[in-house]
Amino acid sequence: MSKKPNIQTQIIQADIGADPAYGAVAPPLYTSSTYLWPSTSEKGPYDYGRSNNPNRDGLARALAALEGGAQAVITSSGMSAVDLCLNLIKADDLIIAPHDCYGGTYRLLDHRARQGRIRVKFIDQSDDAALKVALAEKPAMVLIETPSNPLMRLVDIAAIARAAKAVGAIVAADNTFLSPARQKPLELGCDLVIHSTTKYLNGHSDVVGGAVIAIDKTHGEALDWWANCTGVTASPFDAWQTLRGLRTLNIRMDAQEANALAIAQYLQSHNAVTRIYYPGLKNDPGYTLMQAQQSGPGAMLSFEASTPQQAAKIMEGVKIFRLAASLGGVESLICQPSTMTHRGMADTARLKAGITDNLIRLSVGLEAQTDLINDLSQALPSLKG
Ligand SMILES: Cc1ncc(COP(=O)(O)O)c(C=O)c1O
């Protein structure tokens, strides 16, 4: 019996040479919004673009294989992927979410709760006592985001999933920051994995997209039904482009992570940096857990300057790192979470989560390592003395 190919081989091969029309090696793009029916009583494999599309299917198969799920649903953005999951619970059900989750996720859950559509509790999921109290309220869903955005705090996925499932909750993990190249939440006990495919999965900063991967068909089919019902499915072009980017995920992650580690080590030794958040550093509080549940620390890191003014100078001083939100692309980006990615959070919630104006977040790209370190070093030394 032939052995199933390695996952990397499966991704490289996904939909290659499968074109039924002309034998195209690379998957063709199917932009048609509608498909012919053989007769009024019988439809073909595809009928209407919102409901199904070959490019979305190709990407969904690849992502399900990568995350180890039964089914994937490809959505128009990471936020629509998060929102799609809310369809699995009833009005007034409780969701437990991390207090330091992505600002857009915080805003969505907070405002859905204000509308009376759900109830939400934001807690520090690394605080065992707080988690125990929250789970005693029998939430219908627990959302995990680890590493958290932007403070790179890790939580124990297996332990939280076990405790959450014991009270009957659906457990969803946002795996955007690491991708399946570094972390597999379904293998650690989660039911759903959420992605902003905008980030590492596409990897080239030229698509906004999302995905939810379900460990079983029951959740997968329900999500697929709701995605069609609410019309949050992705465009064929975005799915096609994302599968193209996905093929190089592993080598991109290896190289970007090596750059990030070198930068973290450099920043650690710099006196203008008061604190660094990167679980790949041995003295980071997340280092042991990182080794246990991740296959590497990833390529995102944050650090603090001593004042907001110094942080602003660094962000204005860099030339290779570009000042922009988002992450996970081949190019290096720098941002100030408090005023950019997390501005959707109320000031009190943001400060409670530890996101100050001193904080700078880096998405480390594929540029030459020495250029990236030189870029930071020419922006940092002016702060000494
Ligand atoms: C962890 C995380 N989840 C979800 C999202 C939302 O994704 P999108 O911008 O594709 O809607 C983001 C965006 O930055 C994110 O960082």
Give the CATH fold of the 250-383 domain.
Aspartate Aminotransferase, domain 1 (3.90.1150)
* Nearest atom within ligand 1 for CA of residue 176: 1
Q: Mean of the pLDDT values across residues 317-336?
A: 97
Domain with residues 7-246, CATH architecture: 3-Layer(aba) Sandwich (3.40)
Tell me if 176 CB under 6 Å of ligand 1.
Answer: yes
- What is the dihedral angle through the alpha carbons of 100, 104, 108, 113, rounded to the nearest 10 degrees? 30
Q: Mean of the pLDDT values across residues 168-192?
A: 97
Residue 171 has pLDDT above 70, yes or no: yes
Q: Which residue has its alpha carbon closest to ligand 1 atom 14?
A: 326
169 vs 5, higher pLDDT: 169
Q: How far apart are the first and last CA of the chain?
A: 68
Tell how far the Cα of 384 is from the centroid of ligand 1, in angstroms.
35
102 is catalytic: yes
pLDDT band at 290 (very low <50, low <70, confident <90, very high): very high
Q: Mean of the pLDDT values across residues 58-66?
A: 96
Tell me if 102 CB under 6 Å of ligand 1.
Answer: yes
Q: Which residues touch 6 (CB under 8 Å, ≥6 apart)? A: none
Give tens-digit pLDDT for 183-204: 999 999 999 999 999 999 999 9
What SS3 string covers the chain?
CCCCCCHHHHHHHCCCCCCCCCCCCCCCCCCCCECCCCECCECCCCCECCCCCHHHHHHHHHHHHHHCCCEEEEECCHHHHHHHHHHHCCCCCEEEEECCCCHHHHHHHHHHHHCCCCEEEEECCCCHHHHHHHHCCCCCEEEEECCCCCCCCCCCHHHHHHHHHHCCCEEEEECCCCCCCCCCHHHHCCCEEEEECCCCCCCCCCCCCEEEEECCHHHHHHHHHHHHHHCCECCHHHHHHHHHHHCCHHHHHHHHHHHHHHHHHHHHCCCCEEEEECCCCCCCCCHHHHHHHCCCCCCEEEEEECCHHHHHHHHHHCCCCEECCCCCCCCCEEECCCCCCCCCCCHHHHHHHCCCCCEEEEECCCCCHHHHHHHHHHHCHHHCC
Domain with CATH 3.90.1150.10 in the chain: 250-383
pLDDT band at 300 (very low <50, low <70, confident <90, very high): very high
Tell me if 208 CB under 6 Å of ligand 1.
Answer: yes
Give tens-digit pLDDT for 313-322: 999 999 999 9
Q: Mean of the pLDDT values across residues 30-51?
A: 96
Tell me if 175 CB under 6 Å of ligand 1.
Answer: no
- The rounded mean pLDDT for the chain is 95
What are the tokens at 329?
Answer: 């692309």
Tell how far the Cα of 85 is from the centroid of ligand 1, in angstroms.
14
Domain with CATH 3.40.640.10 in the chain: 7-246
Tell how far the Cα of 381 is from the centroid of ligand 1, in angstroms.
33
pLDDT band at 149 (very low <50, low <70, confident <90, very high): confident
d(CA 358, CA 306): 7
Closest CA to 233 of 379, 97, 65, 53: 53
Give tens-digit pLDDT for 74-117: 999 999 999 999 999 999 999 999 998 888 999 999 999 999 99
Which is catalytic among the residues 119, 199, 350, 361?
Answer: 199
d(CA 369, CA 362): 14
Burial (0-12, 13-18, 19+ Cβ within 10 Å), 50 = middle
Q: Could you tell which of 74, 143, 176, 241 is best to mutate to test the pocket of ligand 1, judged by most ligand atoms within 8 Å of the CB?
A: 176
Give tens-digit pLDDT for 342-378: 887 788 888 887 889 999 999 999 999 999 999 999 9
pLDDT band at 341 (very low <50, low <70, confident <90, very high): confident
Query: pTM above 0.85?
Result: yes
Tell me if 174 CB under 6 Å of ligand 1.
Answer: yes
Which is catalytic among the residues 83, 124, 156, 174?
Answer: 174
Q: Could you tell which of 84, 106, 196, 333 is best to mutate to test the pocket of ligand 1, judged by most ligand atoms within 8 Å of the CB?
A: 196
d(CA 384, CA 146): 34
199 is catalytic: yes
Tell how far the Cα of 108 is from the centroid of ligand 1, in angstroms.
11
Q: Could you tell which of 198, 302, 333 is best to mutate to test the pocket of ligand 1, judged by most ligand atoms within 8 Å of the CB?
A: 198
Residue 6 has pLDDT above 90, yes or no: no
d(CA 288, CA 279): 8
pLDDT of residue 1: 53
174 is catalytic: yes
Q: Which residues touch 336 (CB under 8 Å, ≥6 apart)? A: 311, 312, 315, 357, 359, 360, 361
% of the chain beyond a pLDDT of 70: 98
d(CA 46, CA 33): 10
Tell how far the Cα of 178 is from the centroid of ligand 1, in angstroms.
12
Q: Which residue has its alpha carbon closest to ligand 1 atom 8?
A: 78
d(CA 194, CA 16): 25
* Nearest atom within ligand 1 for CA of residue 325: 14
Q: Which residues touch 123 (CB under 8 Å, ≥6 apart)? A: 96, 97, 98, 99, 130, 131, 134
Tell how far the Cα of 265 is from the centroid of ligand 1, in angstroms.
27
Tell how far the Cα of 346 is from the centroid of ligand 1, in angstroms.
18
Q: Mean of the pLDDT values across residues 210-233?
A: 98
Tell me if 328 CB under 6 Å of ligand 1.
Answer: no
Tell how far the Cα of 165 is from the centroid of ligand 1, in angstroms.
25
pLDDT of residue 381: 67
pLDDT of residue 384: 46
Residue 385 has pLDDT above 60, yes or no: no
pLDDT of residue 348: 87
Tell me if 321 CB under 6 Å of ligand 1.
Answer: no
